């Protein structure tokens, strides 16, 4: 893969746990427009890392929706669930183990819940197996040692974000009890592998970013710029998700959804209504303004529970 670090390279990384809904469309639109407005490349990565959560056919359906909406991606789609990627995640884990920053953990979720205080994303792991290395019991997960030094970064939308990972998430899982590599590890390895220079994604991942930066530092990988978009919520204020059965977007009427995503992202309405997606895109790429994207009101609150799937 050629490496030109001055070049903008963005990505959209859907998980194929269901069809695209309006929330994931907003993320796709925001990442695409930001990349194209900056004359960058835009890659699609299928995060099919978690077969138990996958919905058969969802990956292809997502790609057909992106096509129907007029998205054009660069290069080949990267699928996480391929032997080469699995080898890359394993190598990263081996490197971390060689550096002495991983340890086996035998704790069940129930044991952790009984002893832990709540953190930004589920309970803060109390460090049981770090302090008393397990003997006799079989390791369930592999955790990474965190430290108290604190990680901070400046999000291009949300501004300064600081987190003490040790206190706010605790030592986190990089290999799950079912043997699968954790999202946090895979996303770091793949963002580096694909030379991603700017990550534009939903604010549900804002508080995962310090963990990802921590892993990048341990693995000597560059840290991309980050921009976390506001989340689309339902009438009850709950984030739209495949789990909450959000309606899929309608492939036969892309223009209406594209304009709705544009408005949701705080962008100025076009003076002349575009006639079709192609017209929308050429106008939108020229007029995209990241500075107008609103900050998610609850971006700093606890995010999804993906990390607890140990």
By the criterion CB under 6 A, which residues form the site for ligand GLU?
A: 13-15, 47, 187, 201, 205
Residue 98 in contact with residue 76, Cβ under 8 Å?
no
The Cα-based distances of 58 to 7, 114, 242 in angstroms read 31, 37, 11
Task: Work out the angle at residue 237's Cα, subtended by the Cα atoms of residues 233 and 241, and round it to the nearest 5 degrees.
Answer: 45
Tell me how far, at minimum, the Cβ of 227 lies from ligand GLU, in Å: 11
Tell me how far, at minimum, the Cβ of 103 lies from ligand GLU, in Å: 25
Q: What residue ranges bind Zn ion (CB under 5 A)?
A: 105, 107, 128-129
Residue 89 in contact with residue 186, Cβ under 8 Å?
yes
- Tallying the residues shown for the chain, one arrives at 310
Task: Give the residue with the Cβ less far from Zn ion, 130 or 302.
Answer: 130
DSSP strands (E only) in the chain: 9-12, 41-46, 78-79, 102-105, 141-144, 151-155, 159-163, 172-175, 198-202, 225-229
Task: Give the residue with the Cβ less far from ligand GLU, 9 or 201.
Answer: 201
Task: Give the residue with the Cβ less far from ligand GLU, 30 or 127.
Answer: 30
Tell me how far, at minimum, the Cβ of 128 lies from ligand GLU, in Å: 29
Task: Give the residue with the Cβ less far from ligand GLU, 111 or 301.
Answer: 301
Tell me how far, at minimum, the Cβ of 201 lies from ligand GLU, in Å: 4
Partner from ligand GLU, Zn ion, none binding residue 231, C-beta < 5-8 Å depending on class: none
Partner from ligand GLU, Zn ion, none binding residue 47, C-beta < 5-8 Å depending on class: ligand GLU
User: Which residue, 243, 300, 240, 236, is CA-closest to 264?
Assistant: 240
Task: Give the residue with the Cβ less far from Zn ion, 105 or 189.
Answer: 105
């Amino acid at each position: 893969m050629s490496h030109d670090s001055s070049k903008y390279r963005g990505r959209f990384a859907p998980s194929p746990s269901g069809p695209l809904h309006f929330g994931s469309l907003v993320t796709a639109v925001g990442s695409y427009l930001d990349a194209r407005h900056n004359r960058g490349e835009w890659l699609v990565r299928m995060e099919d890392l978690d077969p138990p959560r996958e919905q058969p056919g969802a990956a292809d359906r997502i790609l057909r929706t992106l096509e129907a909406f007029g998205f054009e991606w660069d290069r080949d789609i990267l699928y996480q669930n391929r032997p080469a990627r699995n080898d890359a995640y394993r190598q990263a884990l081996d490197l971390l183990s060689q550096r002495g920053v991983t340890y086996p953990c035998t704790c069940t979720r129930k044991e952790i819940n009984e002893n832990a205080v709540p953190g930004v994303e589920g309970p803060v792991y109390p460090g049981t197996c770090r302090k008393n290395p397990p003997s006799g019991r079989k390791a369930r997960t592999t955790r990474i040692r965190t430290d108290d030094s604190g990680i901070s970064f400046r999000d291009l939308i949300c501004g300064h974000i600081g987190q003490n990972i040790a206190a706010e998430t605790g030592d986190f899982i990089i290999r799950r009890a079912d043997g699968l590599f954790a999202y946090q590890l895979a996303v770091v390895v793949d963002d580096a592998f694909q030379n991603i220079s700017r990550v534009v994604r939903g604010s549900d991942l804002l508080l995962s970013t310090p963990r990802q930066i921590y892993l990048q530092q341990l693995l000597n990988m560059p840290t991309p710029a980050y921009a976390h978009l506001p989340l689309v919520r339902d009438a009850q204020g709950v984030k739209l998700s495949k789990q909450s059965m959000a309606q899929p977007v309608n492939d036969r009427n892309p223009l209406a959804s594209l304009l709705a995503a544009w408005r949701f992202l705080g962008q100025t309405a076009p003076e002349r209504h575009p006639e079709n997606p192609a017209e929308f895109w050429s106008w939108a790429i020229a007029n995209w303004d990241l500075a107008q994207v609103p900050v998610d009101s609850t971006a700093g609150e606890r995010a999804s529970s993906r990390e607890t799937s140990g």
